[in-house]
Structure 1
Amino acid sequence: MKTNFEKYGRKDDKDLCEITLENDAGMTVKVLNYGATLEKVLLDGKNMVLSLKTPEDYSKQRNFLGGTVGRIAGRVRRGQWKHGNEIHQLPLNDGENHIHGGVGTDMQVWDFRPFCGKTARVDLTLFDPDGHNGYPGNLRLHVRYELDNDNILHYRLDATSDQLTIFNPVNHTYFNLGERAENLTLQMNADYYLPVDQEGLPNRGIAEVAGTAFDFRKNKRIGDSLHSEDEQIKLRNGLDHPFILNGNNPAAVLSSEDHKLTVITNAPALVLYAGNHFDHTGVANNIGQYDGITFEAQCPPTEGNDLGQITLLPFEKFERVVDWKFE
């Protein structure tokens, strides 16, 4: 096991560093303290995730590649959160909605500490103050990336707030197993998904995946779904939908001819997004449409402003766990 880190820049009066975790099997993981970002997963000479060309690129333009996105991942309709008889208004930064926490946790420089023993790990912490991006409560976040000798990368996010607030973060890594995600096969333990409207928000409750482009209960090529005539696929130009997990493990298995990724999580849903917007432009000019796919482990978005499922009570501990096993 090995850990090390290298400084590559400065932002907001803090050092920007790339942290490397390496196990005895030769698997290497690179993490950035900018956004608590999973930058690379190197196995058998291939990168298993989508990455920008250099670490410096990540802070040039918001891109979500591997970032820890919060306080809220996804959209909040009209930016409104109702608790009791009060309605709390969040800033609108996606048309008439609030998305991805505003200037979110993926755009901030985290403190970090590497550790090496029976595993190689890095612990990253961030203090997000009361009122930042319109959210109440001083929030303390702790993210851990931990690599073991079974080629499992463990991701854990803990958080507490001193006030009633809402919190639904996610790790936003795009996986591709060194190939194009469009050509990979996927099996997922989800019997229902959430159809969405033009704004990408749920609008009619859960729907069965049976008989639709969203049925991945048995192993299926992702491209078959992306290029189907399903109205929901056409509406979002690809996969951009929450899937409700049925509780059976693993949550998802992604496969190529040479590699396999197994996803296990304590989250109730996975949001799949196939990088529909990538078009080889901007800071991500090395990435095209459908090159990677996310498994965003989170609570699913809601239709209205009742956000009880993601309401965090004062000093209540939030815990999100995701294990990625690479073979």
Structure 2
Amino acid sequence: MIKMKTSFNKYGVLAGHDLCEITLSNDHNMSVKILNYGATLEKVLLNGEDMILSLAKPEDYSKERNFLGGTVGRICGRLRLGQWRHGQQIWQLPVNDGKNHIHGGHGTDMEVWHFKLSATEQSARADLTYFDPDGHNGFFGNLRLHVVYELDNENNLRYEINCVSDQLTVFNPANHTYFNLGESAKELNLQMNADYYLPVGADGLPTSGMAKVAGTAFDFTKGKRVKEALDSDDEQIKLRNGLDHPFILNGNQPAVVLRGQKHTMTMTTNAPAVVIYTANHFNHQGLTAAYGAYDGITFEAQCPPASGTDLSEITLLPFEHYQRKICWNFE
């Protein structure tokens, strides 16, 4: 007998495409809501309490780009000068962040995805697909994306990004959910299996390779309140007005444990790094008026950004299969 449940509700239309809110539910009073706009994780509800930052209505997500829960691509993060050097050639991507490229231009988090739902005794699942044509946002290759959200009865929410391109291209997406566990993120305790981080410049791009976290504000190896890092005198924290830095994972799982007074989120991933951002720019204005700086924290599981134009780590060969896996467990 099927116990897990899936459902969806149409809430609007955008450019001729139906906008839908998808719900996955388990037997332990946990449910998640997903939008086919941007393959977005909209809500994570434990006994009705939201564990992530969410906008007031599904309709709000397409009104302005704010990245809450979105599947951001083809690139999540910055590319220096918007350039990709491959061999003796340099390809130019759109510049939309000062002199640099950021977040894929009009990215995958701003597109309407197709979806199908399925449920078994073990899980409730949403499969979302999007076709990104060659040349869109200046990127090479026809790209087929497939994102999976799957909830089970152990309160695991699995998230996968799969893709294939028919041409040589670059690809480094990430889910951009802001976690708060029903509290302010700065009050949460964070433990992370990362011995190194990447210092960045004023433009947010790495400057000098990896640096050890030991003895710095960036040391979360034994766990501490996020507030301790934010309140430190570290020049890197001051430069970015909070955490806005890549951490290199050491391969031990779980990668991240985030603990609040009532709830814990444990994250495992096959990504080599997570970029942590503590919602430094939120200021109780616009559609995110409910939130201020440090109310949420992201763990963008991806390849770390490059300091220069050598993007070999995120280069995909034609028809090479890309797969990023994340599992968030809530208790």
- Range of TM-score over shorter length: over 0.9
The separation in 1 between residues aligned to 2:149 and 2:48, in whole angstroms, is 21
Which SS does the other structure have where 1:264 is aligned? strand
Q: Are 2:16 and 1:13 aligned?
A: yes
The residue identity in structure 1 corresponding to 2:45 is L
After superposition, what is the alpha-carbon deviation per residue over 1:294-323, rounded to whole angstroms, capped at 9, x for unaligned? 010000001110000000000000000000
2:313 aligns with 309
2:220 aligns with 216
Q: Are 2:101 and 1:77 aligned?
A: no
Shift of 1:231: 0.1
Greater shift in the superposed pair: 27-36 or 282-291: 282-291
1:127 aligns with 131
2:176 aligns with 172
The separation in 1 between residues aligned to 2:148 and 2:301, in whole angstroms, is 15
After superposition, what is the alpha-carbon deviation per residue over 1:171-221, rounded to whole angstroms, capped at 9, x for unaligned? 000000011101000000000000000000000100000111000001100
1:104 aligns with 107
Query: Where in structure 1 are there 5+ consecutive unaligned residues?
Result: none
Which SS does the other structure have where 2:318 is aligned? coil
The separation in 1 between residues aligned to 2:127 and 2:174, in whole angstroms, is 16
After superposition, what is the alpha-carbon deviation per residue over 1:154-175, rounded to whole angstroms, capped at 9, x for unaligned? 0011000000000000000000
Which SS does the other structure have where 1:179 is aligned? coil
The residue identity in structure 2 corresponding to 1:226 is L
After superposition, what is the alpha-carbon deviation per residue over 1:94-135, rounded to whole angstroms, capped at 9, x for unaligned? 010000000000000000001111210100000000000000
2:60 aligns with 57
Which SS does the other structure have where 1:295 is aligned? strand
The separation in 2 between residues aligned to 1:226 and 1:7, in whole angstroms, is 40
After superposition, what is the alpha-carbon deviation per residue over 1:4-46, rounded to whole angstroms, capped at 9, x for unaligned? 0000001011000000000011101000000000000000331
The separation in 1 between residues aligned to 2:225 and 2:87, in whole angstroms, is 45
2:266 aligns with 262
Q: Are 2:264 and 1:274 aligned?
A: no
The residue identity in structure 2 corresponding to 1:32 is L
2:197 aligns with 193
Which SS does the other structure have where 2:148 is aligned? strand
Shift of 1:256: 0.7
Which SS does the other structure have where 1:224 is aligned? helix
Shift of 1:283: 1.4
The separation in 2 between residues aligned to 1:78 and 1:301, in whole angstroms, is 13
Runs of 4 or more off by more than 2 Å in structure 1?
Answer: none
The separation in 1 between residues aligned to 2:105 and 2:177, in whole angstroms, is 19
2:71 to 57, 68, 71: 68
Q: Are 2:141 and 1:137 aligned?
A: yes
The separation in 2 between residues aligned to 1:253 and 1:22, in whole angstroms, is 23
Q: TM-score, normalised by structure 1?
A: 0.99
Match runs of 1:245-256 below 5 Å: 245-256=249-260
Shift of 1:227: 1.2
1:239 aligns with 243
After superposition, what is the alpha-carbon deviation per residue over 1:241-262, rounded to whole angstroms, capped at 9, x for unaligned? 0000001010010001211000
After superposition, what is the alpha-carbon deviation per residue over 1:254-298, rounded to whole angstroms, capped at 9, x for unaligned? 001211000000000010000000001111111111000001000
1:318 aligns with 322
1:89 aligns with 92
Identical-pair percentage: 68
RMSD: 0.5
Q: TM-score, normalised by structure 2?
A: 0.98
The separation in 1 between residues aligned to 2:64 and 2:124, in whole angstroms, is 30
Q: How many residues align?
A: 327
After superposition, what is the alpha-carbon deviation per residue over 1:55-93, rounded to whole angstroms, capped at 9, x for unaligned? 000000000000000000000000000011110000000
Query: Where in structure 2 are there 5+ consecutive unaligned residues?
Result: none
The separation in 1 between residues aligned to 2:15 and 2:218, in whole angstroms, is 42
Which SS does the other structure have where 2:253 is aligned? coil
2:209 aligns with 205
The separation in 2 between residues aligned to 1:76 and 1:107, in whole angstroms, is 19
Which SS does the other structure have where 2:222 is aligned? coil
